[in-house]
Amino acid sequence: MYPSALSSRARTKHGDSCPNLREESGRIPRERHKVKTGGLKDFANTHLPEGSKLRYLLLGEKDEIDVDAFLARMDLWLRLLRMEFS
């Protein structure tokens, strides 16, 4: 580990100390990645019938959603797909 990771304060490139982000939140911060849903919406629009609940849900999604939200919703989308087309 790097020495700055072990201390409760990190040094900037100018030598000033600043609070360690881990100290505030209890975890290492990460950048929020987004998933573009345009491809899913195109699929829903061209391949799913108009009465499909899955089509309705996919077309109602925002154009970009967080990866965590995408992964959580994917389980529901796959269940609906199996229910509608099995």
* % of the chain at pLDDT higher than 70: 64
Say whether both 25 and 39 belong to one domain. Answer: no
pTM of the model as a whole: 0.62
Say whether both 20 and 53 belong to one domain. Answer: no
Summarised one tens digit per residue, pLDDT across range 45-59 is: 999 999 999 999 999
The answer for residues whose C-beta is within 8 angstroms of residue 27's C-beta and 6 or more apart is none
Say whether both 19 and 61 belong to one domain. Answer: no
Q: Which helix (H) or strand (E) holds 72?
A: helix 67-84
Identify the DSSP state of 51. T
Task: Determine whether 54 is exposed, middle or buried from the number of CB atoms within 10 Å of its CB (0-12, 13-18, 19+).
Answer: buried
Q: What are 77's two structure tokens?
A: 């989308």
pLDDT in 10s for each residue of the chain, 86 residues: 444 444 444 444 445 455 554 555 566 556 679 999 999 999 999 999 999 999 999 999 999 999 999 999 999 999 999 999 98
What range defines the domain where residue 22 resides? 1-30
C-alpha span between 23 and 71 (Å, rounded): 28
Q: Considering its fold, how many domains does the chain have in total?
A: 2
